[in-house]
Amino acid sequence: MARAVPIDKLRNIGIVAHIDAGKTTTTERILYYTGRTYKIGEVHEGAATMDWMEQEKERGITITAATTACFWQRNGEKHQINIIDTPGHVDFSVEVVRSMKVLDGIVFIFSAVEGVQPQSEANWRWADRFNVPRVAFINKLDRLGADFYRVFKEIEEKLTIKPVAVQIPVGAEDNFEGVIDLMDMKAIIWLEETLGAKYEIRDIPADYVDKAQEWRERMVETIVETDDTLMEKYLEGQEIGVEELRKALRKATINRQLVPVLCGSAFKNKGVQPLLDAVIDYLPSPVDLPPIKGINPNTGETEERKPLDNEPFCAYAFKVMSDPYAGQLTYIRVFSGNLKAGSYVFNVTRGEKQRVGRLLLMHANTREEIQDVSAGEICAVVGLDAATGDTLSDEKHPIILEKLEFPDPVISMA
């Protein structure tokens, strides 16, 4: 089996935002820093890497659910991040729901000026319904009227999961320089606003020391509340190590008790690298989540599939697109087992055996042919006659993944 990284180093994420909060810009910066794009196109030029279709270019919004694989080093180890392109517009909420089913975590972007907007609330509640763990990124801190603390408070008051700031900003608006990492208690200051994105780790500036201490205390208190052992240590006045705190926050994020909050300005190239670190630190890999459930069509019984290579194959087709070069591309998320290029698969939804052509790992600017795809991974299949929403599985062990429901959004959308 040819995994690019072990399954615990894999993150399948979506980036979700109210329109204009900076999803496209943040996605492009992520692709740039992870080294997979060589040319960056600004949104207004209509050349965004994730915008595959002409129609999207015209509208400036992203409506397809292509995925892009990229790689990020954290703690000296290579991690793979698959970005599942979730649509941001409420008109396309059926697509939002479909993508929720295949992603394991979300980077939720808010504008530091506009704050929590109605569309953010609606999308947040969709994520609640699908139990998706989240980290939040308060973007546009360079803009006039940006206020990290106000938006943090809005998240606390309007949304369902308790936020915990793991950073606070240094400077604001035109003078936004960087962030204070409240875990390491260091300042990260960007040296330039261009794409080079060089930064320096410095001591906390003197006039931020009190504020940083106050917010660190708040962060520690919020985290220890989710962990009995740490709470005991805390009450006894013992020192709690950074790694213990990070681990507890990871667990609380995956259990959807807490949402780590970070900040920056994607446009000015500040804050995106620490955001990638946070994706690795706090969002789950496929093995951190419970097994997927489905119905065996022969027995009508509910069965589970664990994210293991030696389980029977099972995958969900979440997007079918026509591609100018390859013809029909079916994007699949594999939940268990593995699939080889050139083999056969059972389309349980249609009740027929189907041939699998080539398998492609889609990068921002290239596509890589792979020989097999394993539990937890996402790829595009060429030449499969499947429709969006089909379950594919091992013929001897058929399963239909729980039927997608489209419940009414909890709040009305303005």
Which residues are at the interface with ligand GDP (CB under 6 A)? 17, 19-25, 43-44, 88, 139-140, 142-143, 265-267
Distance CA 24, CA 60 (A): 9
Contact 234, 240 (CB under 8 A): yes
Is 364 labelled a binding residue?
no
We find the least distance from the C-beta atom of residue 88 to ligand GDP, in angstroms, to be 6
Is 140 labelled a binding residue?
yes
We find the least distance from the C-beta atom of residue 109 to ligand GDP, in angstroms, to be 7
Helix (H, G, I), strand (E, B) or coil at 250: helix
Smaller CB separation from ligand GDP, 29 or 319: 29
Tell me whether strands 372-374 and 338-340 are parallel, antiparallel or unpaired.
antiparallel
Distance CA 378, CA 360 (A): 9
Partner residues linked to 16 by β-bridges: 108
Is 44 labelled a binding residue?
no
Is 276 labelled a binding residue?
no
Smaller CB separation from ligand GDP, 267 or 282: 267
Could you write out the three-class secondary structure of 341-389?
A: CCCEEEECCCCEEEECCCEEEECCCCEEEECEEECCCEEEEECCCCCCC
We find the least distance from the C-beta atom of residue 62 to ligand GDP, in angstroms, to be 7
Smaller CB separation from ligand GDP, 117 or 349: 117
Is 86 labelled a binding residue?
yes
Smaller CB separation from ligand GDP, 275 or 392: 275
We find the least distance from the C-beta atom of residue 124 to ligand GDP, in angstroms, to be 15
Beta strands, E only, 210-343: 258-263, 292-295, 302-305, 314-323, 327-336, 338-340
Is 18 labelled a binding residue?
yes
Smaller CB separation from ligand GDP, 22 or 169: 22
Is 270 labelled a binding residue?
no
Distance CA 312, CA 158 (A): 42
Contact 77, 6 (CB under 8 A): no
We find the least distance from the C-beta atom of residue 144 to ligand GDP, in angstroms, to be 9
Annotated binding site for GTP: 17-24, 85-89, 139-142
